[in-house]
Structure 1
Amino acid sequence: MNEELRHLLENCLANGSEEDLLVIKQLLEGVQNKIHLNRRTYIDGILHMEPRFEQDSCEITIPISPMIHNNLDIVHGGITATVLDTSMGVLANRLLPEGYGAVTNQLNIHYIAPGIGDTLRCRAEVIHQGTKTMVISGEAYRSDGKKIAHATGTFFMIKKP
């Protein structure tokens, strides 16, 4: 595995464009974040998620770079969805009692504007917390403050095994 990985990396470094090299650097830094900063998931590390919490909200900011662009050079909608789902899911999990976890049951997203600029910031707030489900809203903003997406999510509350 090490030899195959070394060959693959050397080939990419030798033949990649400046943009390719930037993406490789960000991916490797993301894996390093997972390892050294004790991030829980690779997605968290690779997207360089920076969470911020208030009492009833969660905000996650990520840098915008070519790594998360679609073929129009704007943030891929799936990345926006991932960060919205993560901010809502993290909030849901923070509000649950010990021994319980929240998983996404339904996610609805309305895309409003293109994701451009330096950062993508997603903010989540609880709409309703019942005994078995939680409904959370999320909004995504680009660095100039323009809202680019609005989402709602329903989360099942489950007992951890």
Structure 2
Amino acid sequence: MKDHLIKLLETCIENSSDEDLGALSFVLEGIQNKITEKNTTYIDGLLHMERKLDENSCEITVPNNPILYNNLNILHGGITATVLDTTMGTLANYHLPEGFGAVTNQLNIHYIAPGTGDKIRCRAEIVHKGSKTMVISGEAFRSDGKKIAYATGTFFTIQK
């Protein structure tokens, strides 16, 4: 496996543009984030998520990078959805007792403005906390402070 990866990396490096090398660096640094436990999952690491969490809210910031862009060279809506879902899900899980987890049952997103700038910041707050479900709202902002998306999510509580 290692020999294959070394060969693949060498081929990519030899045949890449500066933009390609920047994307490769972003991905490898993301994997390193997971390996060194800066982030707990590969998706958190790959997106370079920085997290702030307290009793009332969760905030996740992700640097904007061309690897996350769609064909219009703006942040892909699926990335925005992933970061919003992660932000809301993190807050839901924070409020559950040991041995339980929250999984997304429904996710609704309203895209408002293009995701441009050097980062995206998502913030989540609990709307309703029941015994089996939680409803959480989230907002995504670009670096100039403009809101790019509004979301709500329903999360089921399950036993791990």
The TM-score by the shorter chain falls in which range? Answer: over 0.9
Per the alignment, residue 122 of structure 2 pairs with: 122
Structure 1 portions without partners, runs of 5+ = none
Cα distance in structure 2, aligned partners of 1:75 and 1:65: 8
1:31-65, Cα deviation, whole Å (9 max, x unpaired): 11101125221010010000012321000000001
Please report how far the alpha carbon of residue 67 of structure 1 lies from its aligned counterpart in structure 2 after TM superposition.
1.0
1:82-111, Cα deviation, whole Å (9 max, x unpaired): 000000000000011111110000000000
Where does 1:90-129 land on structure 2 (aligned, <5 Å)?
Answer: 90-129=90-129
Per the alignment, residue 68 of structure 1 pairs with: 68
Compute the TM-score of the two structures, normalised by the length of structure 2. 0.98
1:116-149, Cα deviation, whole Å (9 max, x unpaired): 0010000000000011000000000000000000
Per the alignment, residue 50 of structure 2 pairs with: 50
Paired AA for residue 11 in structure 2: N
| Secondary structure of 1:131's aligned partner | coil
Structure 2 portions without partners, runs of 5+ = none
| Secondary structure of 1:70's aligned partner | coil
Equivalences, count: 160
Among all aligned residue pairs of Structure 1 and Structure 2, give the percentage whose two residues are the same amino acid.
Answer: 67
CA RMSD of aligned residues (A): 0.8
Cα distance in structure 2, aligned partners of 1:31 and 1:75: 20
The answer to which of 35-44 and 83-92 deviates more is 35-44
Cα distance in structure 1, aligned partners of 2:51 and 2:155: 19
Cα distance in structure 1, aligned partners of 2:38 and 2:139: 27
Per the alignment, residue 27 of structure 1 pairs with: 27
Please report how far the alpha carbon of residue 23 of structure 1 lies from its aligned counterpart in structure 2 after TM superposition.
0.8
Compute the TM-score of the two structures, normalised by the length of structure 1. 0.97
Deviant stretches of 4+, over 3 Å: none
Paired AA for residue 44 in structure 2: D
Per the alignment, residue 154 of structure 2 pairs with: 154
The answer to which of 51-60 and 114-123 deviates more is 51-60
